[in-house]
Structure 1
């Protein structure tokens, strides 16, 4: 049986100016990051896509479904 690996799930709704800093701190802790775009506006969506292109996982909701739904995704 494989050992569980911790990761960080980060629900995001319109925080384009702070999400990269949060991701950077999590990476510094050695955690893989899963970003969940919970229906953000275009500027935040662009930042999340940039982070996804840098190797982080991204799950996208077309509309805001709330933090609980974002975490479950």
Structure 2
């Protein structure tokens, strides 16, 4: 699989994960704008590695947010 295909697949996965977060965790979705990225949207040489790292960071943020919600419910 060539790099263009990999980047396309990763971009689709990022979009899917972002939409999932937006629907299931709107509070977290609002915070994503405040999340510092390691690359800029203006950067021309975004690599598949950069996209993989960003996708992983989205997944980690979602899991952490879910744990926080579960912990809050347990405390009530």
Q: TM-score range by the shorter chain?
A: under 0.3
Q: Which of structures 1 and 2 has the bigger CA Rg?
A: 2
The structure with the largest helix share of the pair is: 2
Higher strand share: 1
